[in-house]
Amino acid sequence: MTLRDEAVRLLPDLVALRRRLHRIPEVGFDLPQTRDAVREALEGLGLEVTTGSDLSSVTAVLRGAADGPSVLLRGDMDALAIEEETGLEYASTNGAMHACGHDLHVAALVGAARLLSARRERIAGSVVFMFQPGEEAGGGAPLMIRDGVLDAAGRRVEAAYGIHVGPGERGTFQLKSGSIMAGANVLRVRVRGQGGHGSRPQQAVDPVPVVAELVLALQAWVTRRVDVFDPIVLSVTKLYAGEIVNVIPDEAGFSATLRTLSEASIAQAQAELPLFIERIAAAHGCTADVEVIIGYPVTVNSAAETVAATRVLRDLFGAGRVEEIEAPWMASEDFSFVLREVPGTFLFLCATPPHVDPDDIPMNHSPRAQFDDAVLGDQAAALAALALRHVGLED
């Protein structure tokens, strides 16, 4: 029986697990219900299962019938602090939501564990299953790396794979070599002036119009200083100033998300933005404190692994269901920390339900985002096939 045939048999169980997780989304690093559901789903598979001591991670190791290399498969588990508006009968009611499809990632990884466990006698080596909390905020991946997930099988994994669901024609796999998702960084700016009465601005040094000018000036910096072929996306997402309507505040400021695709572009931002902002503030008689805070690195796929993964997926699903995309997503992903350590590939699986209007597809992180769990069988089979490329014995 082929991987896809076996995955079809597993599909009802995987859908049930996904919907169970969807009803009980948990945010951040402490995911006790999700962790327990994963451990329960892995029971009876003969895996070596461990959990994190200070975060709700689950690491499971499958040892094959013979010695050989190790490979890692990853699924992130955390949800978002979003009130769900999908109207699904299994929708969350606890104020959080799996609006980025991590419930599918978990269920598919459990499915891959079941498919590979059934093939243990045809495996030479080990497979590490990385069930990770804290992807959406804080970076659970580097914490699991710190705790030894890459060496959980006793030897460093030689490759790592992850699949992320997203909008698009259901069942289509998308991947590319090189940078596939952006680095995520934060710009924080505090402008200091001199407060006063709102009726007499000439006797104050008002920081508020300086902040307004900076928000627009930063867009000019992006379009005039940044190479269009190595882009930066800078979006101001948080503003603050005074709280009393007739008082000019001493201070105002803002925060922005800063998405980059290379070490060169973030280095440029670190070098140029503080001076750019400080000089505009100084022109108005204000001072500025500027921080460029480095967050998630760029997610970079190995060229060799991506070529091989493309071949594996086309052999399994047909060439028509595998697309090589040209441009990276400017969203970010902490699987980037794994791919900095070992070669591998991070790819997308389109999972828009057929009843959703393709011209009005809610994006990931929307309170109306929906993902069709009919893709779970193929998602599990794809993960298993990618692992078998490294540890599967020839028939």
Query: pLDDT at position 360, please?
Result: 83
d(CA 61, CA 50): 9
What pLDDT does residue 137 have?
A: 79
Q: Which fold has domain 183-296?
A: Alpha-Beta Plaits (3.30.70)
Report the C-alpha gap between 192 and 286 in whole angstroms.
Answer: 6
pLDDT of amino acid 395 = 56
For residue 331, the SS3 value is coil
Q: 55-90 pLDDT, tens per residue?
A: 999 999 999 999 999 999 999 999 999 999 999 999
Mark out the alpha helices in 194-262 (DSSP H runs): 208-225
327, with CB counted inside 10 A (0-12, 13-18, 19+), is: exposed
Q: Give yes or no on whether 3-179+298-391 and 183-296 have one common fold.
A: no
Residues 110 and 116: their CA atoms lie apart, in Å, by 10
Domain boundaries, the chain: 3-179+298-391, 183-296
Q: Cα separation of 97 and 86, whole Å?
A: 10
Residue 197 confidence (pLDDT):
97
Place of tokens 């007739």: 246
Residues of the chain below pLDDT 70: 395
Strand partners, 63: 126
Q: CATH for 3-179+298-391?
A: 3.40.630.10
Residues 6+ apart with CB under 8 A from 217: 276, 280
pLDDT of residue 36: 97
For position 138, what pLDDT does the model report? 75
What is the per-residue pLDDT across 149-191, written as a single tens digit (0 to 9) for each?
Answer: 999 999 999 999 999 999 999 999 999 999 999 999 999 999 9
